[in-house]
């Protein structure tokens, strides 16, 4: 059965700090890994990674995949209070119709 | 382009009542999903569909039913509501083809309380 494990479960930092969120996975027939941000409402898509070692970047957020070690990291630099959210990692299942989600990392930014 | 819309936003049900949660997407996506999210927990897949007329069970299908008569609509039916079904329900869709096959777009959610 496919598995996605995120760490830490929660993280509290001060505004301006840099954070690194981790996602490790065990999946049959890996296709891609996706990151989502969930504030108080529905998850919103951040990144999809398919190739090892290639960084995806959007503003202060960046993510990279290591297919050999089966993990991905999401970095957020110069954090702001608006970055407070739960960050979810997901991988498509073997049949590719479904996503297996991790339980998420709850990030809290203190002003 | 509204994306994925869900109705209602909130609902309180009594034990044993029935209701249908509506979900519509206007992106011509093939795949649609229903998730539930309990407080402080991750997303659990209830049912999913890879196209009109095709549905399949996810992790937690008991107590729910779905149908997919059109590409756009994917309603979720609760027949006999139980307190354990108190949760936030999210509908999602994804293209199911091409480079963005797995990128799921979520609706705003329905907060359901069963008392």
Contact A46, A35 (CB under 8 A): yes
Of A44, A88, A92, the CB nearest to B102: A92
* Amino acid B97: pLDDT: 73
Q: How would residue A29 be classed by pLDDT, with cut points 50, 70 and 90?
A: confident
Taking only residues 81 to 110 of chain B, the set having a beta carbon closer than 8 angstroms to any beta carbon of chain A reads 90, 96, 100-109
| Contact: B90, A43; criterion CB under 8 Å | yes
> Tokens standing for A25?
């996975």
Candidates A108, A61, A44; CA nearest to A82 is A108
Contact B32, B53 (CB under 8 A): no
Interval B91-111 mean pLDDT: 86
Show residues of chain A in contact with B101, CB under 8 Å.
92, 96
The answer on pLDDT for A5 being more than 90 is: yes
**A2-6, A91-95, A98-102, B55-59: the lowest-pLDDT one:** A91-95
Summarize pLDDT for B45-93 with one digit per residue, the tens: 999 999 999 999 998 999 999 999 999 999 999 989 999 999 999 999 9
The C-alpha atoms of residue B21 and residue B9 are separated, in whole angstroms, by 9
The C-alpha atoms of residue A28 and residue B64 are separated, in whole angstroms, by 28
A interface with B, Cβ–Cβ below 8 Å: 31-32, 34, 41-45, 48, 88, 92, 96-99, 101-104
Residues in chain B: 115
């Amino acid at each position: 059965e496919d598995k996605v494990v995120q760490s830490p479960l929660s993280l509290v930092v001060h505004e301006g700090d840099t954070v690194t969120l981790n996602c490790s996975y065990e999946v049959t027939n890996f296709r891609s890994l996706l990151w989502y941000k969930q504030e108080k409402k529905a998850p919103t898509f951040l990144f999809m990674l398919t190739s090892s070692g290639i960084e995806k970047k959007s503003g202060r957020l960046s993510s990279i995949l290591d297919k050999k070690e089966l993990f991905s990291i999401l970095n957020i630099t110069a954090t702001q209070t608006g970055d407070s959210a739960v960050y979810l990692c997901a991988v498509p299942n073997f049949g590719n119709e479904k996503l297996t989600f991790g339980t998420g990392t709850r990030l809290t930014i203190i002003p | 382009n509204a994306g994925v819309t869900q109705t209602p936003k909130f609902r309180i049900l009594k034990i044993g009542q029935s209701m249908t949660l509506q979900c519509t997407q206007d992106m011509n996506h093939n795949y649609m999903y229903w998730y539930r999210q309990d407080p402080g927990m991750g997303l659990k897949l209830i049912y999913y569909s890879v196209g009109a007329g095709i549905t399949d069970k996810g992790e937690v299908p008991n107590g729910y039913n779905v149908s997919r008569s059109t590409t756009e609509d994917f309603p979720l039916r609760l027949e006999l509501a139980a307190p354990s079904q108190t949760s936030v329900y999210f509908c999602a869709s994804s293209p199911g083809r091409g480079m963005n096959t797995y990128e799921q777009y979520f609706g705003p959610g329905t907060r359901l309380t069963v008392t």
